[in-house]
A and B are shown apart, each in its own frame.
Chain A
Amino acid sequence: MKSDIILGGVGGQGILSIAAAIGLAALKNNLHLKQSEVHGMSQRGGDVQSHLRISSKPIASDLIPKGKADLIISVEPMEGLRYLPFLSNDGWLVTNITPFNNITDYPNIDDIMKQIKAFPNHIAIDADTIAKAAGSSRSSNIVMLGAASPFIDIPYEKLEEGIRQLFGKKGEELVNTNLKALKAGREFTEKNR
C-alpha cells in the first residue's frame, strides 16, 4: 500500500497534530513513513504544508512529486486549493470550510467553495461545528482526520490507537473527546461521499 498525503493550513492551526496521529498509526502498522514539515518563518500566520508519505515499501523522496498525491487534507478552504497541482487525477480533496482570514485580500468564500465543489472527489466539512458538538472546538483537526480516514490505507482502529497515544498523557477525557471527534468526521464522509 501507499498513501501520499498533503496537509495544508495556516501557521498556528496545528496541522502537525493530524500528521502525528497518522504517523503513530502508521508505525503501529509497521509501515514506512516520511513526513516533511514547515518550520520557521511561515509558522507566523503564513501558508504551511506537510507532506506525509506512508508505504509498505521504502520511500525515497521526502517530498511528494506533483500529480502523485492521493489525498489533500486542508484545515482551511483556500489552503486546500493551493496544493491541487500535487493531487493525482483520482485523488481526494478533504477540506474544512471555515476560512482563516488574516490577509487583506482574502477572496469571497463563495468563490472558494465553487472551486472546491467543481473538484469531483471532494469532502467539504464544517469541522469546527462538528468538533464543538463532539465536545471541544479544539479537536477540529481530529474531525478533519476522521473525515479523511476512509481515504487513508490504514485500519480505522490503528488511527484510534494513534490518537490514544498522542493524547494519552493529557488525560482520558481529552482522549475520549478526540476519539468522538474522529468518529464524527468519519461518519460525515461516509454519509456525504
Chain B
Amino acid sequence: MKKSTNVTAQRNNRWALLGIKAMVGVVVLILIALLGDILITGLPHVSWHFLTSPSKDFGAGGGIANQLFNSIYILVLTLLISCPIALGAGIYLSEFARPNFLTSVIRTIIEVLSSLPSIVIGLFGYLILVIKFQFDFSIFSGAIAVMLVNLPLLTRNTEEALHAVPQTQREAGWALGLSKWRTISRIILPAAIPGLVTGVILSAGRIFGEAAALIYTAGQSAPLISYTNWNPFSPTSFLNPMRPAETLAVHIWKLNTDGITPDATQISSGASAVLIIVILIIILGSRWLGSYLYRKMGGTKS
C-alpha cells in the first residue's frame, strides 16, 4: 500500500516537473517567435532612406524620420522634468517620511497613480493641457502626460535605490555631525547611483515605447519640420516644443487604425523593428552600465 502511493507520487512528480519545463519552453518560444517575427519581417524595410525621410499619409514609400526624432525629443524632455521630481519625492519617502498615517496616505496615492491606465492619464492631459490651457497637441503636452505615467515608477525606483544603501552609512554621516541633508546628498546618493541610473534607463525604455498617453496629447500628426531651423519659437523648427508631434509608437498605432497608407504593414514592421532595437539597446545598456557602476563603486574586494 505504502509502496504504491510512493510510486504514484514519484510518477506525479516526474510528470509535474516535466509539465513545468514544457510551459517554460512555451514562454521562451513565444519570446523568440515575437522577436524573430518583428526583426525578420521588419528589418528588410529598414534602410537609411526609411530612417531619414518623412512619412507620407496617402502614398507608399514614406519613412519615419520625424517620428523617430519626436520620440527622442519627448523622451529627453520627459526625463529632464521627471528625474529631479522623482529624485526629490524618492528622497522624501526614503529619508524623511516617518512611518505614520500621513505617509501611508501619500504612498497609497502614488500607488493609485502608478496603477492608472496610461490612456486615462493621456485623457487627463488632453482635458487639462490641450483643451483647458490650450497648449494644443504638442511635444510639451505629451511630455507632461508621459511624465505622469513615469513619475510614480521612477519615484519608487529612487526610494528603493536609496533604501538599499545600508543604514550604517547614514549613521556614519550623522555621528560625524553632518546634517541629514548633507548625509543624503553626499553619501547616500553617490552610493545609490548604480540603482538610480539603472532605474532611469529602464524608464527611458518605457517612455520610448509609450503611445496611449500620447495620442491625445502629443497628437497623431507629424507636420513637416526643418532640421536647420534652430529657432525654437518657429512653428517649423524641429526644436519647437509647441508643435504637434506623432512619435514612433503612435505612428505604428495610427498606421494600423486608419488604414489609408497603402504600405502601412511594411512601414509598421520596419518601425516596430526600430522600436525594438532601440529598446533592446536600452535594456542591455542599463544592465551593462549598472554592473559597471557597481564594480566601480564597490572596490575590488567587498
Q: Do A and B come from one complex?
A: no
Interface residues of B (CB under 8 A from A): none
